[in-house]
Structure 1
Amino acid sequence: MNFPRIDIDLAKTAHNIRQLKKLYGSQGIDIIGVTKVIGGNPIIADVLVKNGIKILADSRISNIIKMRRAGIKAQYLLLRTPALSQVQEVVIHTHISLNSELEVLKRLSECALRNHITHKVVLMVELGDLREGIMPSEMNSIVKEVLSMEGLDLVGIGTNLACFGGISPDADKMNELSSMAIRLEEKFKITLAIVSGGNSANYNWVTSSKDVGRINSLRLGESIFLGREALCRKPIPGLFTDIFTLMAEIIEAKRKPSQPYGQVYQNANGDIPKFENKGLMDRAILAIGTQDVIVSGITPKQKITVLGASSDHLLIDNTETNLKVGDTMAFDLNYSALLRIFSTPYIAKNTINQYECESIL
């Protein structure tokens, strides 16, 4: 088996999807499966679809193309608001896009007409996180213009929270979005099929709410794949948090000083490091580095200390573990580390428990 690699448990993935669909479905909320963290991996995307996910969302059109070419049958939503330079690709390869810029919407309309396509759009509302979104005071005028654009079908509104600014999708924010949906529907005599309240950070709000109002959709990635909510990163009861395991191989194991010696300047990461002198130390090097993964986002399953990393090497204190050359180590990952791993070709992707997954579909 090649190293480094990431093991992906498909049966646990299927379990998490079904549990989340049951949890949110009890409140009338549909799940959109976010595939950007898995790099649009078609094998994993297929598990999502076979377990009831109807819309797959990704921020990269190349990932969407990959899933479509692999035959994954779903509605595809572009998560990142489109650039003017990619409107043709958006219209051709996606069914729905999140939007906040009028000029982009006009170009999407023109492109959809040229290609005899009706493209669905969701307008994003700014509610305080200060990433993408139309200011609430401008929504009426934007909606009016979009409704007049041929080739576009306004299917919903949404918001993004707990990403850039870390703002909680609490009851006040969700009530504001819900009220806005109701006002727009009444004013323009329309029905919004999608009112998207956010992402995996909405777990606490949903589980503490008796009435979710008009919110009927959430875009979930972290909760599905890591079994956690995204505000405090606490595990969600009943979900697996170990779907992914990173495996790396020991390529050197030697006894060396604990403190580098010589004139100290910047290291490969641009830092000027400082190390405590603990005398001689059993050290080991693994064949993985910052080019492969965000090192701060991985946690060893064994009780060892990570000393640091360069682009190709991860150094550990091997005093208590006594690992040998050729041995392997296993790591858990956070969302950022997982995202990096699926964005690099240097880590093998290995699916496990395929049979168990298929037996429960």
Structure 2
Amino acid sequence: MNLPRIDIDSAKIAHNVQKLTTLYGSKGIKIIGVTKVIGGNPAIARILVDNGIKILADSRLENILRMRKAGIRAQYMLLRSPALSQVEKVATHVHISLNSELIVLKELSKHALKNHSIHKVILMVELGDLREGIMPSEMENMVREVIGLKGIVLIGIGTNLACFNGIAPDLDKMTELSSIAVHLENKFSICLNIVSGGNSANYHWFKSSKKLGRINSLRLGESIFLGREALCREPIPGLFTDIFTLVAEVIEAKQKPSMPYGKAYQNMNGEIPCFKDIGLMSRAILGIGQQDVLVSGIVPKQEVTILGASSDHIVVDNNKANLTVGDTVTFDLDYNALLRGLNSIHITKNHVNYQKCQEVL
């Protein structure tokens, strides 16, 4: 099989989805499966749907189209506020979108009417992380405008925390979101079917709270695919954290000096690296680089140390592993490394235990 590659344990994904669905469902929260990290991979999306996920969410319209073309039956949610240049496609191919701009909502209304369809919208509320969202003081006016638009229907509100500035979705934030939902329902005599409290960072709030207020939905990606919460990156008990393994091939293995020699300027990363002189050392080069994966987000499973990387190469200290040309090195990946790796056309995606996953179903 072509290298580099990422091995994907399908049975472990199914296990994590089942466990998380049961866990959050115990307090009335439904899970929305976030597929952006997998690049809309239809085989993985099918595992999510087959294990009870009803809504698949992605920030890239292209990924949604890929899953729909593959015949994955689900409600599709666009996570990122629709760009004006894509509004027509969003109204045609996406069931639900997250929104914060009135001009976009008016365009969605126009194209939904043109399609003789209804597009569902969730309004995002700004609660401090300072990415997307409407300020709470402006929510009344926004809702008043939206419920007057034809072709779209307001089905809920939501917020995003812990992504841009790491602000925790704690009890205070979730109580505020619940209060906003209740106020809007009472003010406008509407029913908000979805009150989306956030993402994989909501785990500690969920576990420590006896009452969740109006929060009934979470958008999960990292918890499903890496088995952990997204505030402190701690494993969630009972989940697999080793679903994905990166495999790269050794393309050179030689004894070389530990110190570069010659006049030093910036390297391709704009840095002037510093190394300790330990004399001759065994160094290996892997056929993978920054173009393929976020190198700072991968951890070797063997006894090698990453010395650095360029666009197409990773150089490792090979003194302990004694790798030779043609050998492979395996890595664990964090979320950002996985995001880049699974979306790289240069990395083979290898599904293992897929039959076992089907048998579980």
Distance 2:328 2:343 in 1: 22
Displacement of 1:219 in angstroms is: 0.2
User: Among the aligned pairs, what percent are the same residue?
Assistant: 70
Residue aligning to 2:19: 19
Please show how residues 1-361 of structure 1 align to structure 2 within 5 Å: 1-361=1-361
Unaligned runs of 5+ in 2: none
Cα displacement string for residues 154-202 of structure 1 (whole angstroms, at most 9, x for unaligned residues): 0000000000010000000000000111111111111101000000000
Displacement of 1:117 in angstroms is: 1.0
Which 10-residue stretch deviates more, 266-275 or 205-214?
266-275
Displacement of 1:8 in angstroms is: 0.4
Distance 1:338 1:117 in 2: 36
TM-score, normalised relative to structure 2? 0.99
Counterpart residue type for residue 159 of structure 1: T
- The residue matched to 2:229 in structure 1 has which SS? coil
Displacement of 1:225 in angstroms is: 0.1
Cα displacement string for residues 236-256 of structure 1 (whole angstroms, at most 9, x for unaligned residues): 000000000000000000000
Unaligned runs of 5+ in 1: none
Cα displacement string for residues 78-136 of structure 1 (whole angstroms, at most 9, x for unaligned residues): 00011111100111110000000011101110111111110000000000000000000
- The residue matched to 1:234 in structure 2 has which SS? coil
Distance 2:322 2:342 in 1: 30
Distance 2:276 2:106 in 1: 60
- The residue matched to 1:177 in structure 2 has which SS? helix
Displacement of 1:325 in angstroms is: 0.5
Cα displacement string for residues 21-65 of structure 1 (whole angstroms, at most 9, x for unaligned residues): 010000100000000000000000000000000000000000000
Displacement of 1:303 in angstroms is: 2.3
Distance 2:234 2:302 in 1: 21
Displacement of 1:276 in angstroms is: 1.0
- The residue matched to 1:111 in structure 2 has which SS? helix
Displacement of 1:304 in angstroms is: 1.6
Displacement of 1:271 in angstroms is: 1.1
- The residue matched to 1:33 in structure 2 has which SS? strand
Runs of 4+ in structure 1 deviating by more than 2 angstroms, as ranges, are none
Counterpart residue type for residue 289 of structure 1: G
Counterpart residue type for residue 107 of structure 1: E
Distance 1:282 1:207 in 2: 48
Counterpart residue type for residue 12 of structure 2: K
Counterpart residue type for residue 205 of structure 1: W
